[in-house]
Amino acid sequence: MRLIKSRDTRLEKALRSQLWKQGIRYRKNSQSLFGKPDISITSKKIVVFIDSCFWHGCGEHLRLPKSNIEYWANKVERNKNRDQAVNMHYRNNGWKVLRIWEHRIKQDIDSAAIEIVEAINR
């Protein structure tokens, strides 16, 4: 478990690189913001979370380990509940929350970056 990175993953770096190329400036993993969003644009009140399919319970790709099933099912469920609480916190305070699945970045990183840029420009 210690080897699993919680920040600066390959996917996060790739998405941030796409945003940087488009002139988007942001903060990464801001400790001062609730839930430590992967990307935050405070001037526009936008936070972006990049959710891995395993840890955040993707309906399409989640495959729980065959051993200790109850532990992993509870762990993923707690993560999903925490994600909902974080979403509510930001929405209740007038922020836009974007959650982008790992598989989406792998399949089409450009569309994920475009979604963020469009949210900023609205």
In a domain, 2, yes or no: no
111: pLDDT strictly greater than 90: yes
pLDDT score at 8: 73
7: pLDDT strictly greater than 80: no
In a domain, 108, yes or no: yes
Chain CA centroid to CA 1, Å: 19
Residues 57-93 pLDDT 10s: 998 888 888 899 999 999 999 999 999 999 999 999 9
How far is the C-alpha of 82 from the C-alpha of 66, rounded, in Å? Answer: 24
Residue with the two structure tokens 């945003």: 19
In a domain, 91, yes or no: yes
pLDDT score at 113: 95
Number of domains, the chain:
1
Provide the domain limits for residue 66: 10-121
Q: Residue range 9-29: average pLDDT?
A: 93
pLDDT score at 6: 63
Chain CA centroid to CA 10, Å: 13
Sheet of strand 39-41, all strands in order from the earlier edge strand to the far edge: 27-28, 39-41, 46-51, 96-101
2: pLDDT strictly greater than 60: no
Contact 71, 65 (CB under 8 A): no
